[in-house]
Amino acid sequence: MQSPYLLEMNGISKAFPGVQALSEVTLKVKPGTVHALMGENGAGKSTLMKCLFGMYRPDAGTIHIEGTPVDIPNSRVALEKGISMIHQELNPVPYRPVMENIWLGRFPMKGLLIDEKRMYADTKALFQDLNLDIEPRALAGTLSVSKIQSMEIAKAVSFHSKVIVMDEPTSSLTGKEVEQLFTIINELRSRGVSIIYISHKMEEILTISDEVTIMRDGCVVGTWDAADLTTDLIITRMVGRDLSERFPERLNVPGEVILQAEGLTSNQPNSFRDVSFNLRKGEVLGISGLVGAQRTELMESLFGLRGLASGTISIHGRKVKINSPAAAKRHNIALLTEERRVTGIFPVLSVYENTIIASLGRYQNRLGLLDEKKGREEAKQQTQKFRTKTPSVNTLIRNLSGGNQQKVLLARWLLTDPEILLLDEPTRGIDVGAKFEIYTIITELARQGKSIIMISSEMPELLGMSDRIMVMSEGRLTGIVDGAEATEQHIMRLAAQQRMAGQEDHG
């Protein structure tokens, strides 16, 4: 009798030194369905998918595709078996054209030479089939995150995949881009392709999914029809406890102005221009905006990573020049970057090394050598303080979940004793339980008098955490709204202001 499931993973177990990542996990996915996989960071979702995609060898268990047992020793075999995976951290080959990224490792050949004409035509046809507006000859590094995401989906489709794993596919997309993604997913579903959809965004899960499997602590809690679930039910089953309050109580009282920015204009074309704002002691200043608003670029200029063509920055009323991260650190500014795996963590170093690396001077002995005992003790204290889940401080940081990596990065910067913290998407790709812990840390820092600028693309997060919300659109500041009076509609109007004005100009 033929199995009703396209994919069956039965009794999958996987252990790492000091951690039982998966314990007899079973996942069954029907053909032509979107099957959501949910759970807190560290629940085992990514490990399970890496076992499916051949990146890890499970210690026990079996995998069946269309009722046939398969052995998947590596990713190439996974692709041959019809399994594709689109990772949360997108890693295109930036200096090569889009079409080469699509067909990497399987270029169409004309004799001994690559058939570029055919590769272009095949890529164009693939994009047209998925209704994607991407130029095949454009360098992948010039694309926006959303376009790279679409390119990766097209690549998965090009393998004629039966199962496509999407890990946090909308973490960097605007509302309109999410709608386009859902259109693509629905098209794939109608063709009989199964999507395993990993996301922490409850509304998305309930909108796009047919079934939902929830994991906790390396085990499956259960599988349900999406239609039978609510956000509250999902949260309770994910964390094993009721989270009635999504945001901690704000006890901070903003004081005097700490930082004043006047007329900041980037030295890069088509970036931010003439941006003025201030930041107060003990304040959480949220920054909202659509993709292309230049929020990250503005923060990076405050940290000395990008240059300014004009404008001034004053701290405590005194003009300062910040032309490097070292200068920013001297002025007690810290930056938590958006892409933690690309520009945040040092993946081949331990939790201990990642924690102390920004403040090595604190751990030097009289001879100028590193006092490892002192450093490890400090790192242990930080993991306890932040409740970071790690077997030990000697564990490689890349083996930690996203939420726990973020806690290590926060600890790293707090050891430098900053006065101003710049947080770029601090909870991106982090589950609801870990988010609350990060929110609690941010709220406590503000209560202690730290001044925080927080970029976020999640409207509830901005409204729930910010004392004021500064809105940017196409590189312009379009408004600053008091957090207590802010509404989602008002912020969205401000965020789309320049874009709409541009459309009117071209109308």
Token pair, residue 298, equals: 């503005």
Calculate helix-pair angle for 432-447, 231-239, nearest 10 degrees.
Answer: 90
Domains of the chain in sequence order: 7-92+143-239 (3.40.50.300), 250-332+419-507 (3.40.50.300), 342-417 (no CATH)
Which residues in 115-132 are b (16+ Cβ under 10 Å) and which e? Answer: ebeebbebbeebbeebee
Calculate helix-pair angle for 488-495, 497-506, nearest 10 degrees.
Answer: 40
Report the C-alpha gap between 268 and 313 in whole angstroms.
Answer: 18
Using one digit for the tens of pLDDT, what is the confidence trace for 104-125? 888 988 889 988 899 999 999 9
Please measure the distance between the N-terminal and C-terminal CA atoms of the chain and give it in whole angstroms: 61
**What average pLDDT does the segment 460-466 reach?**
89
Question: Does residue 89 register a pLDDT over 80?
Answer: no
Strand locations in 42-151 (E): 60-65, 68-70, 83-86, 109-110, 113-114
Give the CA distances from residue 300 to residues 263, 324, 335, in Å, rounded to whole numbers and listed in that order.
16, 10, 8
Q: Which DSSP symbol is given to 343?
A: I
Question: Does residue 1 register a pLDDT over 90?
Answer: no
pLDDT of residue 41: 65
- Name the β-bridge partners of 68: 65
Report the C-alpha gap between 443 and 456 in whole angstroms.
Answer: 15
Show the CA angle centred on residue 378, arms to residues 356 and 326, nearest 5°.
30
Residues 94, 145, 479, 421, Cα dihedral to 10°: -70
Question: Does residue 61 register a pLDDT over 80?
Answer: yes
Query: In whole angstroms, what separates CA 257 from the centre of its chain?
Result: 31
**What average pLDDT does the segment 436-451 reach?**
90
Give the CA distances from residue 175 to residues 160, 207, 326, 427, 455, in Å, rounded to whole numbers and listed in that order.
28, 13, 37, 18, 17
- Name the β-bridge partners of 420: 333, 451
Neighbours of 45 (CB within 10 A): 26
Report the C-alpha gap between 201 and 239 in whole angstroms.
Answer: 15
Neighbours of 23 (CB within 10 A): 16
Closest Cα to residue 327, out of 311, 345, 307?
307
Structure confidence at residue 503 as a pLDDT band (50, 70, 90): very low
Token pair, residue 337, equals: 């970057």
Q: Which DSSP symbol is given to 341?
A: I
Task: Give residue for tokens 């396209």.
Answer: 6
Using one digit for the tens of pLDDT, what is the confidence trace for 389-433? 888 888 888 888 777 888 888 888 888 888 999 998 888 767 677
> DSSP states of 142-188 as a string?
GS-HHHHHHHHHHHHHHTT-SEEEEESTTTT--HHHHHHHHHHHHHH
Using one digit for the tens of pLDDT, what is the confidence trace for 215-245? 988 899 999 999 999 887 887 787 665 555 6
pLDDT of residue 507: 43
When mean pLDDT is compared across 8-22, 25-39, 440-454, the lowest value belongs to 8-22
Report the C-alpha gap between 153 and 282 in whole angstroms.
Answer: 43
Report the C-alpha gap between 479 and 468 in whole angstroms.
Answer: 10
Question: Does residue 291 register a pLDDT over 80?
Answer: no
3-state DSSP: the chain helix, strand, coil percent, rounded to 5? Answer: 35, 25, 35
CB 239 within 8 A of CB 434: no
pLDDT of residue 502: 47
Token pair, residue 366, equals: 């009289």
Report the C-alpha gap between 414 and 418 in whole angstroms.
Answer: 6
CB 204 within 8 A of CB 170: yes
Report the C-alpha gap between 228 and 243 in whole angstroms.
Answer: 19
Structure confidence at residue 372 as a pLDDT band (50, 70, 90): confident
**What average pLDDT does the segment 357-376 reach?**
81
Query: In whole angstroms, what separates CA 128 from the centre of its chain?
Result: 28
Residue-averaged pLDDT of the chain? 86
**What average pLDDT does the segment 330-358 reach?**
83
When mean pLDDT is compared across 1-5, 25-29, 33-37, 154-158, the lowest value belongs to 1-5
pLDDT of residue 33: 96
When mean pLDDT is compared across 169-178, 181-190, 372-381, 437-446, the lowest value belongs to 169-178
Residues 330, 335, 341, 345, Cα dihedral to 10°: 40
In one-letter notation, the amino acid at residue 19 is V
Calculate what percentage of the chain has a pLDDT beyond 90: 43
CA atoms within 13 A on the CB side of 166: 33
